[in-house]
Structure 1
Amino acid sequence: MQKRTFLQLATGTALALIVGFGPAEAAEEIKIGVVGPKTGPLAGGAAVTHFPNFKLWAHEVNARGGLNVKGKGKMKIKLIEYDDRTNPGETIKAVNRLATQDKADFIMAPYGTGFNLATAPIYAKYGYPQFAVAAVTDKINELIKRFPTIFFFIGDTTSYARSVAEVMDKLRKNGKINSRVSMVNVGDTFGIELANAARPVFKKFGFNIVYDKSYPLGTQDLAPVIKAAKAAKPDSFVAWSYPPDSFGLAKQAKIEGLNVKVYYSAVATAFPAFGKVYGKSAENILGAGGVLNTPAVKKYMKAHKQVTGVDADFWGSPVYYAVTQLLSESIEAVGLDRRAVTKYIKSRTFDTIIGKVDLRKQNHPVFWTVGQWQNGVFEGVKGVGTTGEKSVKLKTGW
């Protein structure tokens, strides 16, 4: 869906809301609302990155007797989940229901850039902090000014486009690739905004986009896209893709023999399942995200698998978990008053499994932009404010 449609939905929603700030109703449990796609095109991604982290959080907190909530004592977490069916209208209805009917104490942000944009007015009007982990947009500064309860974690679109360009530029300067790039994108807010950001950035770096194609979200047959990209004879292939198409594009690239030296796809490339499905063929594929594989991250990933039965990804999953850590700390410090929690979050930094998280300006300044499958592990190779990046390797076939 186009970004304009999401913003129209969001604006329309804002007009219908009733302001309801202040502390949540007293309860024996902390009610946490979770909205995301359990069906539809984005369900596979949410099943890896989104829902399992909240399940892990509730399991760990409840196993130790609950959070020690200021003024209330120990309180366990109760998750209230809704399937938005990868439909922004359903996301809006679900978030609204959690706020007005379920009286959730906190509502976790939805999965996907456009879905976060569509629901931001609801979070702001009801005073819910919105931890937009699954949102990448160049509108961050505008949104922060408009919505005082929204927080961003994984950066802006231009940073991702620039990072990919910088990776390719370094390889080109070393004489390893030429300037020809085939670029494709999923036709929703995320993909459209990234493609729009990439065009001028790639041009500035002197790259020639020899193929430029958008495809609808949920496209099943990606063979024509890959065939056309291959026919343009690029040295580099860049896809601003969502989970189902990241898998689908790689499958077709292998079938069609898209033997580029740089192969990049966005969301889900960092999923362990991607490495398992494509095995040796995944080696040296670049993708969005990355992680520094510290002992804390490895411990988290082990627990994630043991509790949820799902392998955490190498990008968004650790960030999601960091959100649960900082929210736990905030609730124990100031209680369930959402205004107080938001104020607390804006007043300090938090020690988490991904390092210090700083939301004092509502936008965490450190994030991974490019990772690469190397020896069976998705390693961070480029980021903003990151350390420990691995060297980039060329793709040498499927």
Structure 2
Amino acid sequence: MLRRSFITLAASAAVLAGAGTSGFAQEETIKLGASAPKSGPLAGGAAMTHWPNIQLWMKEVNDAGGLKVGDKQMKIELVEYDDKTSGEEAIKNIQRLATVDEVDFLVAPYSTGLNIAAAPAIARYGYPQIATTAATDGVKEFAERWPNSFWMLGTSTQLANGIVDTISKMKEKGDIGNKVALVNVADAFGLELIGAAKPALEKAGFEIVYETSYPLGTQDLAPVISQAKAAAPDAFIAFSYPGDTFALTEQAQVQGFDVPVFYTGVGTAFPPFAKRFGDAANGIMGIGGINSSDENVKGYLDMHKADLGSDPDFWASATTYAGLQILGQAIEKAGSLDKAAVVEAIKTGTFDTVIGPVSMPNNVNEKVWTVGQWNNGVFEAVAAEGMPVAAEPAKKSGW
């Protein structure tokens, strides 16, 4: 009996001794929370852009031994939830991550609408919100209302002006005429972009010959393409989300909607888009793009392919990864897990990222790629603000 007790006590002592060395080190982790779609209309986009880059960044950080926080080297663990493409669910998840899971930091939600919906809750708990998949003209107002929020993907006006400026150049060269068909998904993203694009198009001398919107999650978009085709435009512009981006393009191909400029929104930059449409994807334009000849971007593309076995999307993926790099570098700069100190570090710092140096003194990244175009398997930037582009825009020639 005494021997058995001694063995038990000795074993317990060994465990406690281990807890003071390697076991204790394992407990020194940064708990990261993430809430984004795994179901609902935006699940496909999040699966392409959001979740893989969290995995990639965590792998790179943890493989390197973690983040240096003061005199500690701290690895990262993830707590994640499905917001079901619902603002209400996103808010509940943020509250749970903050109060039940007690995470140290959050990854910003996916999409414009969910970032805006969750912003008050994120601010309430003091977390830095680095929004990398939200495009809105409200960034300056939001940054003032929620000083913990940072906006990296550009404004609706920047993105809308990108395509308007692009087709204006093409019109001046004589590549296209002045008739435009304009379509948008009826949520925050689409409504803001259409609101910025219409006056810009009219100012540039374009005639809007067809215009319509449709609810998020609409399945049958054949009538939209049919009516747009009947209007005989020179440019078709759709501010769409991934599901509708694919559906609109499929219908254009089925109906033989040959138009010199065919532009769709989120999802155009996804590698599965080029795979689905093959050679027919050549010449299709969309939001974003990248400059794949840039060494930073090229390194990111190679890393994504090597570590995850797939290509990223050729727009917001790199920005999403860059946002996580900024969070990590800001934590190291602050030297602690104090959220307010990290917010201040983001406000005042310049960060080395896969999209180049990024600083956000007014909580907004103003250097963005705005329009990309498929060319033999790469979605290259053809328009940008403050960033180098990869190519000049060209007319699309048939399906």
Q: Distance in 1 between matches of 2:96 and 2:70?
A: 27
Q: CA deviation at 1:229?
A: 0.6
* Per-residue deviation, residues 108-149 of structure 1 (Å, max 9, x unmatched): 110110111111111212110001111111111111111100
SS at match of 2:38: coil
1:369 maps to: 370
Q: Distance in 1 between matches of 2:351 and 2:62?
A: 22
The alignment status of 1:262 with 2:223, answered yes or no, reads no
SS at match of 1:346: helix
1:117 maps to: 116
Q: Distance in 1 between matches of 2:204 and 2:111?
A: 29
Pairing 1:1-398 to 2, within 5 Å after superposition = 28-71=28-71, 73-293=72-292, 294-334=294-334, 335-398=336-399
SS at match of 1:104: coil
Q: Distance in 2 between matches of 1:149 and 1:243?
A: 29
Q: CA deviation at 1:161?
A: 1.4
Q: Distance in 2 between matches of 1:286 and 1:368?
A: 13
Contact 2:296–2:356 (CA<8 Å) still a contact in 1?
no
Contact 1:48–1:311 (CA<8 Å) still a contact in 2?
no
2:17 maps to: none
Q: Distance in 2 between matches of 1:127 and 1:278?
A: 44
Q: Distance in 2 between matches of 1:126 and 1:171?
A: 48
Contact 2:36–2:109 (CA<8 Å) still a contact in 1?
yes
SS at match of 1:275: helix
Q: CA deviation at 1:165?
A: 1.0
Give the partner amino acid of 1:343: E
Structure 1: give runs of 5+ residues left out of the alignment: 1-25
Q: Distance in 2 between matches of 1:63 and 1:168?
A: 45
Deviates more, 1:172-181 or 1:324-333: 324-333
Contact 2:137–2:155 (CA<8 Å) still a contact in 1?
yes
Q: CA deviation at 1:158?
A: 1.1
Give the partner amino acid of 1:123: I
Contact 2:383–2:389 (CA<8 Å) still a contact in 1?
no
Give the partner amino acid of 2:126: G
Q: Distance in 2 between matches of 1:38 and 1:309?
A: 20
Q: CA deviation at 1:299?
A: 2.3
Contact 1:70–1:331 (CA<8 Å) still a contact in 2?
no
* Per-residue deviation, residues 160-184 of structure 1 (Å, max 9, x unmatched): 1111111111111111111111111
Contact 1:369–1:384 (CA<8 Å) still a contact in 2?
yes
1:16 maps to: none
Contact 2:290–2:389 (CA<8 Å) still a contact in 1?
no
Q: Distance in 2 between matches of 1:155 and 1:388?
A: 16
Q: Distance in 1 between matches of 2:301 and 2:161?
A: 29
2:3 maps to: none
Structure 2: give runs of 5+ residues left out of the alignment: 1-25
Give the partner amino acid of 1:82: Y
Q: Distance in 2 between matches of 1:84 and 1:352?
A: 28
Deviant stretches of 4+, over 4 Å: none
Contact 1:188–1:216 (CA<8 Å) still a contact in 2?
yes
Give the partner amino acid of 1:46: A
Q: Distance in 1 between matches of 2:296 and 2:200?
A: 35
* Per-residue deviation, residues 266-299 of structure 1 (Å, max 9, x unmatched): 1011111111111100001010001111233222
Q: Distance in 2 between matches of 1:326 and 1:140?
A: 18
Contact 1:52–1:310 (CA<8 Å) still a contact in 2?
no
Q: Distance in 1 between matches of 2:324 and 2:118?
A: 20
Aligned length: 372
SS at match of 2:348: coil
* Per-residue deviation, residues 180-228 of structure 1 (Å, max 9, x unmatched): 1111111111011111111111111111111111011111111111001
* Structure 2 length-normalised TM: 0.91
* Per-residue deviation, residues 9-62 of structure 1 (Å, max 9, x unmatched): xxxxxxxxxxxxxxxxx9521111111101111111100100011101111111
Q: Distance in 2 between matches of 1:365 and 1:171?
A: 25
RMSD: 1.3
Q: CA deviation at 1:303?
A: 2.1
Give the partner amino acid of 1:303: M
Q: Distance in 2 between matches of 1:70 and 1:116?
A: 31
* Structure 1 length-normalised TM: 0.91
Q: Distance in 1 between matches of 2:309 and 2:253?
A: 29
Give the partner amino acid of 1:258: F
Q: Distance in 2 between matches of 1:160 and 1:344?
A: 28
Q: Distance in 2 between matches of 1:160 and 1:396?
A: 24
Contact 1:270–1:315 (CA<8 Å) still a contact in 2?
yes
Q: Distance in 2 between matches of 1:187 and 1:351?
A: 36
